[in-house]
Amino acid sequence: MHYPNGKKSSKFSASLKGQKPVYSNRGMTLEQDINITNQYYQEQNMAVIHKKPTPVQIVHVDYPKRSAAVIKEAYFKQPSTTDYNGIYQGRYIDFEAKETKSKHSFPLSNIHTHQIEHMRQVSHHEAICFLIIRFSSYQETFFYPVERLFTHWDQQFDGGRKSIRYETIQKEGYIIPIQYHARVNYLDIIDKYYI
């Protein structure tokens, strides 16, 4: 079977050979889902929340031709803080998005000390600050308040676990069902528990 562009359908070709079709990368990444959600929020004039750019210092660029510049060497200027920030109903929103393939727990090593320090600072000033955690094996996404994260973060240095159990996140967090327009509709959680 060929598509109008002349290319063969890989799913059809695979099934002709007696193999199962390949469905990898069928789902979107958490970041893509959040970006679509934030775009929807902005288009509907609900909130203005953006992904923060990573501060990078470009050192060396090759220009083989004008339209094909290639960055050959670059360095992070400084540690980044969290992934997203913005404003919703007059409140500052600040959050980090993390995805894990683990079925059993969320490793605290996925978060950096400077990110925890940043989240503590913005929380101190009454920002709505949280993690969005996706367990990709289950395709489940959770809103996880930083106050609960801080408890687990601090306990790891007193002999506690270096991860948060999946069951604990189910109990302490809030599931975010995948939706069509606002794919990761975290504002619903904020409306129920913060505003």
Q: Is 140 annotated as a binding residue?
A: no
Identify the CA nearest to 184 among candidates 46, 77, 31, 76. Answer: 31
Q: Is 151 annotated as a binding residue?
A: no
CA distance 29 to 99: 8
CA distance 38 to 86: 10
Q: Is 94 annotated as a binding residue?
A: no
Tell me the DSSP string of 23-46: -TT-SPPHHHHHHHHHHHHHHTTS
Identify the CA nearest to 138 among candidates 175, 107, 111. Answer: 175
Contact indicator for 176, 132 with CB cutoff of 8 Å: yes
Q: Is 31 annotated as a binding residue?
A: no
CA distance 95 to 154: 19
Strands 91-100 and 128-135: parallel
Question: What burial letters (b/e) apply to 32-41, b meaning 16+ CB within 10 Å?
Answer: ebbbbbbebb
CA distance 95 to 86: 9
Q: Which residues are annotated as a binding site for Mg(2+)?
A: 81, 83, 96, 115
Q: Which residues are annotated as a binding site?
A: 81, 83, 96, 115
